[in-house]
Structure 1
Amino acid sequence: MTQQGARWTADQVLALAPDPASRKAGSKLGTAGPWSETGSADEGTVWGLCKGSGSKPYQTVVDLADAAGPAYKCSCPSRKFPCKHALGLLLVWAGGESSLATVPEERAPEWAAQWLAGRRKRTADKAEQRAGQEARSAADPEAARRRAERRAERISAGAAELEQRLSDLLRGGLAAAEQAGYGLWEETAARMVDAQAPGLAARVRELGAIPSSGPGWPARLLEECALLHLLDQGWLRHERL
């Protein structure tokens, strides 16, 4: 289970694939056969060893708990994110394989625990930094106002960029969204996170799962794009309201 309390579907996992080749390769690894020492934690993490062509299995771990989106670590040489091993591991997890036991995160193997600990520390450091900024803001209202203005400017820039990307998508045709895979949406979502607009980033990631959601997906994608357009316009025109 993730922190949101729901195990993903296979379609949601495959929507993460950066391209069709990765989707196909990941699907082949989505069974218990090539995997060993698999596990998951309620904190939203999954790990396992995948048998490859070499003598050493690939160490694969996925963190689903980050609000900025999934993060992946694999010892394979692939430069694709997620790689086929991360996709396969998530498919095993999504399928509820009995071999993938749920244990506390602190019981993860050392190679996975070290990476997860580093991520948790960075998250805690960022939270501490935000808390310090809020404390300084309370002591200096003028500085707080300037920071709020800068953030509003970044969000506006992100919303404007998202509007352009939605426009490009509609001009190019919705079929391009299916061909591009999840990478198109993840890159856009990352841009929204950079613009300090996590709400927009979350909506963009939801769009990424639609092209692989079955018959009728173009209509659903168009509807969600329209709703996202309304959210964008609401922000961009909020000073006129």
Structure 2
Amino acid sequence: MMITLTEEYIDSVAPNASAVKNGWGLVKKKKFEKLHQSGDQMLLFGECTGSGKKPYITSVDFINKEQPTYRCTCPSRQFPCKHALGLLYAYIDGQAFTEADIPKDVIEKREKMIKRAEKKQAEAVVPKKKKVNKAALRKKLQAQLEGLEMIETLLHNLVRGGLGAIDAKTLKQVEAAAKEAGNHYLKELQHALRELVQLWKAKLPEEQLYGRAIHEIQRLSVICKKGKSHLENRLNDEELTLDTTTSIEEWIGHTWQLAELRELGKVKYDVKLVQLSYASYQNDARKEFVDEGIWLSLQDQHLYYTRQYRPFRAAKQLKQEDSTCSVLHTDEFVIYPSEGNARVRWETSKLEELSEETYLCIQQAAKHSLSDVVKHVKNQLKQPLADKHPLALIAYDKIGKVNEKWILEDQQGERLTLADEDGDTIPLLTLLRADQLSNQVLLVQFHHNLQSNELTAKPLSLITHEQIIRFK
């Protein structure tokens, strides 16, 4: 075949784990009556026995390698359906695909696809610049400014009344303010206020609760202050210019569009990335599931985030982002404005196998001076808009236990305490071999303990010269 199919690739296009299981089930139960491959080796098609009298006709067309087309006559709303997935699994399972002419309906659909692509390309030659309704935008900015003033007043009242006086009635007032923040287009601050309420709902010990609450209130106060100053400057600017250097726009409600970021030059081309860590978790304050990947760019050796947000109410309709253990190659990816490890997105990509060169690139990207890393992290934590849990890729001399604590030590003898509030990665260190605990590379996520003022790091992945060991 002119493309390389792998089980990982097929799993990655499946809408969910059930579809993967059911696709393989069709293969194992020998439900495919006919299996064909076109002469140009770009089309797989066949017939699969279903619940109806007639078999389902399914196909996968790779005429566009970046975006294969999945077709099936079954009534399933899943995309691709289990029959299309089963067709691909049958192919990698080594089942016989006889050569056959491309069906007439597929030829016709290919022709329509080509015409649509040509039309789209012609329209893209001279892209239309989106016209901004400045009057409407000014009205929105004014509403955001009023919302920031409302939140600022709320925060002042909380501090004036004392954290010890916060009760159920006060928390309801904060929740009401969070709802009102949404009416003022302040979505991120809406989430932040709900997270503040969650601190009390979590029933934390008083010292921990008040320490974290004070930190969050201070952070929100600074964001409100910076946001008000920024909005006032925009309202006084005839062009209503956006801030493209920090995350303040996102904090006060702006949703960056890919086309917008491209126009601002926030884009890199022909990029290869390796996913070093992945997690999918529930965020009750946002009322969303978050799929988060941590990636290393093999070109600029920077660490990046990808985040997909899936609202609780739409979780069944949105496919969970997949983890990958391959090199991801994209022609273009865009970078969101930020103060630390930036969030990135891309539209199309292809997977390539990890090689010795890949592991070498990861090793070379690691920082060898722990003191330099800690200095950089501390500077980032001083910025109120920056991520509270910075990432770093550290080359260590050894990892071991000192006084019952796990310690990472670099070649200069500098030490860093490894810790994990959730307790889901530290226990895994005991499973590592002796050779893995020395002269390797560790991906960590820093945490600043507000009570002890200690800076610790949570291990996420260990990278050797031949493998990536993920702790999550």
Which TM bucket (shorter chain)?
A: 0.5 to 0.7
Letter in 2 for 1:124: K
TM-score, normalized by length of structure 2?
0.30
Query: Cα distance 1:156–1:130, how it changes in 2: closer, same or farther (>3 A)?
Result: closer
SS of match in other structure, 1:108: coil
* Alignment RMSD (CA, Å): 4.5
Task: Say whether the 8 Å CA contact 2:34–2:48 is kept in structure 1.
Answer: no
**TM-superposed deviation, 1:56:** 0.8
Q: Is 1:71–2:72 an aligned residue pair?
A: no
CA deviations over 1:155-207 (Å, ceiling 9, x no partner)? 359x79xxxxx9xx76849x9579x9x93459xxxxx99x9xxx93233x64x
Structure 1, unaligned stretches of length 5 or more?
135-143, 161-165, 187-191, 214-219, 227-241
1:108 pairs with one of 102, 120, 128: 102
Q: Please point out which of 341, 347, 361 is paired with 1:201.
A: 347
Task: Tell me, yes or no, if the aligned pair for 1:22 and 1:84 is still in contact at 8 Å.
Answer: yes
| Partner residue in 2 for 1:29 | 26
The answer on whether the counterparts of 2:43 and 2:59 sit within 8 Å (CA) in structure 1 is yes
8 Å contact from structure 1 (residues 16, 183) kept in 2: no
Query: In the alignment, is the contact (CA less than 8 A) between 1:43 and 1:65 conserved in 2?
Result: no
Aligned to 1:7: 4
* 2-structure distance, mates of 1:48, 1:86: 9
How far is 1:80 from its partner?
0.3
Q: Aligned pair in 2 of structure 1 residues 155, 43: CA closer, same or farther (>3 Å)? A: farther
Shift in alpha-carbon separation, 1:125–1:201, aligned structure 2, 3 A: closer
Q: CA contact under 8 A between 1:45 and 1:62: conserved in structure 2?
A: yes
Q: Which residue of 1 aligns with 2:93?
A: 95
Q: CA deviation at 1:84?
A: 0.7
Residue 153 of structure 1 aligns with an amino acid whose one-letter code is E
In the TM superposition, residue 35 of structure 1 has moved relative to its aligned partner by 1.1
Give runs of aligned pairs for residues 106-145 of structure 1, distance below 5 A: 107-109=101-103, 113-127=104-118, 130=121, 144=126
1:155 aligns with 2:155: no
Q: Deviation string for 1:12-55 (max 9, x for gaps)?
A: 21221111111110111235821123212235211110011221
Question: 1:40-92: per-residue Cα shift (whole Å, max 9, x none)?
Answer: 22352111100112211111111122255122111111100011111100111
Question: In the comparison of the two structures, how many residue pairs are matched?
Answer: 171
Q: Which amino acid aligns with 1:64?
A: F
Contact 1:17 1:82 in 2 (8 A): yes
Instruction: Write the letter of the residue equivalent to 1:84.
Output: K
Q: Which residue is 1:238 aligned to?
A: none
Q: Identity over aligned residues, as a percent?
A: 26
Query: Following the alignment from structure 2 to structure 1, what is the Cα–Cα distance between the partners of residues 88 and 263?
Result: 35
Matched residue type, 2:99: T
**Contact (CA 8 Å) 1:18, 1:183: kept in 2 or not?**
yes
The structure, 1 or 2, with the larger RCO (C-alpha pairs under 8 Å, 6+ apart) is 1
Q: Aligned AA for 2:17?
A: P
Q: Is the 8 A contact 1:60 1:74 kept in 2?
A: yes
Q: CA deviation at 1:154?
A: 6.5
Alpha-carbon distance in structure 2 between the residues aligned to 1:115 and 1:95: 25
Please identify which structure carries the higher helix content: 1
Go from structure 1 to structure 2 and tell me whether the alpha carbon gap of 1:148 and 1:8 turns closer, same or farther (over 3 Å shift). Answer: same
Q: TM-score, normalised by structure 1?
A: 0.54
Query: Does the residue aligned with 2:111 lie in a helix, a strand or coil?
Result: helix
Structure 2, unmatched stretches of 5+, are 131-257, 268-274, 283-289, 294-314, 323-330, 335-344, 366-472
> Against the structure 1 CA distance between its residues 75 and 176, is the aligned structure 2 distance closer, same or farther, given a 3 Å change threshold?
same
Q: What secondary structure does 1:202 align onto?
A: coil
